[in-house]
């Protein structure tokens, strides 16, 4: 075994051997590096989400609070990147100056939020808003239904007025040959005082003879079977 070989073996052993303290320091540095990097990335993603939300909701109340939070969190993300840099470069003055930025922003944010707390507490929660929306929707439906019913009633009154002024006798029945309505001329011919009095009656209940009532019901059956109207009955 030569002297040169012995020296080379000792040098290899010195280079390849790492003390427990050096190993612990390297693990600690990696821990700080990974932790600060992950926190910085998360802190950068939160402001992006806030800004996107504010831009999508143009009518959002207190949007300035979201903007302040975004700047505040973004500044903290910068500080975590700075912490990674100081692992290798002792730029502590720069690091301290960057830490002062979120400190100032945090004071501004706190001064903005604290006066808003009473106003924010007065805002309705989603359940209350849902109840209010449902109530408004119900009122709207009722108003819409009332207007539709009023329009239908006016239309029916107009139609009834037109039918009452024509000389022809007009009536309509259901599939059981029960009268559902008529005009004034037919009501007077049957001895009734108004068209409403004929509703629910049959031909047997009117002033027809039995043969006339049977004839009219036979005509009703033919009309329903053939789906063809009959005139001048």
Q: How far apart are the first and last CA of the chain?
A: 137
| CA–CA–CA angle 199, 200, 203 (5° rounding) | 95
pLDDT of residue 233: 66
pLDDT band for position 204 (cuts 50, 70, 90):
very high
**Helices and strands (H and E) in the chain: how many:** 7, 2
Residue 8 scores a pLDDT above 60: no
pLDDT of residue 3: 43
pLDDT band for position 2 (cuts 50, 70, 90):
low
pLDDT band for position 164 (cuts 50, 70, 90):
confident
Distances in whole angstroms, Cα of residue 70 to Cα of each of 2, 30, 62, 84, 100 = 69, 28, 13, 22, 17
pLDDT band for position 23 (cuts 50, 70, 90):
very low
Residue of 208 and 131 predicted with greater confidence = 208
- Which residues, listed in sequence order, are joined to residue 75 by a DSSP beta bridge? none
Mean residue pLDDT across the chain: 76
CA distance 159 to 172: 13
As to burial, measured by CB atoms within 10 angstroms (0-12 exposed, 13-18 middle, 19+ buried), residue 217 is middle
pLDDT of residue 22: 53
Return the sign of the alpha-carbon dihedral for residues 215, 217, 222, 227: positive
- Single pTM value for the model: 0.42
Place of tokens 């019901």: 217
pLDDT of residue 93: 85
Q: What percent of the chain has pLDDT over 90?
A: 5
| CA–CA–CA angle 147, 151, 153 (5° rounding) | 115
CA distance 224 to 36: 85
Residue of 85 and 165 predicted with greater confidence = 85
**Of the ranges 18-22, 117-121, 152-156, 224-228, which one carries the lowest mean pLDDT score?**
18-22
Encode pLDDT of 134-160 as tens digits.
655 565 666 667 777 777 777 777 777
Residues 6 or more apart in contact with residue 47 via CB below 8 angstroms:
69, 70, 71, 73, 74
């Amino acid at each position: 075994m030569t002297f040169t070989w012995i020296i080379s073996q000792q040098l290899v052993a010195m280079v390849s051997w790492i003390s427990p303290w050096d190993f612990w320091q390297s693990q600690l540095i990696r821990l700080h590096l990974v932790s600060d990097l992950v926190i910085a990335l998360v802190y950068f993603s939160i402001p992006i989400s806030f800004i996107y939300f504010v831009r999508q909701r143009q009518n959002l109340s207190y949007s300035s609070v979201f903007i302040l939070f975004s700047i505040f969190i973004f500044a903290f993300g910068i500080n975590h990147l700075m912490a990674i840099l100081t692992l290798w470069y002792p730029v502590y003055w720069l690091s301290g100056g960057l830490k002062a930025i979120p400190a100032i922003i945090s004071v501004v944010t706190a001064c903005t939020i604290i006066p808003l707390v009473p106003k924010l507490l007065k805002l309705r929660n989603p359940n209350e808003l849902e109840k209010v929306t449902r109530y408004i929707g119900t009122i709207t439906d009722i108003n819409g239904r009332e207007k539709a019913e009023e329009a239908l009633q006016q239309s029916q009154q107009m139609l009834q007025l037109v039918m009452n002024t024509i000389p022809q006798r007009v009536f309509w029945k259901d599939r059981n040959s029960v009268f559902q309505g008529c005009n004034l001329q037919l009501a007077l011919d049957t001895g009734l005082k108004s068209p409403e009095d004929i509703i629910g009656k049959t031909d047997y209940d009117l002033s027809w003879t039995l043969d006339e009532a049977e004839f009219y019901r036979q005509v009703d059956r033919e009309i329903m079977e053939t789906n063809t109207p009959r005139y001048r009955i």
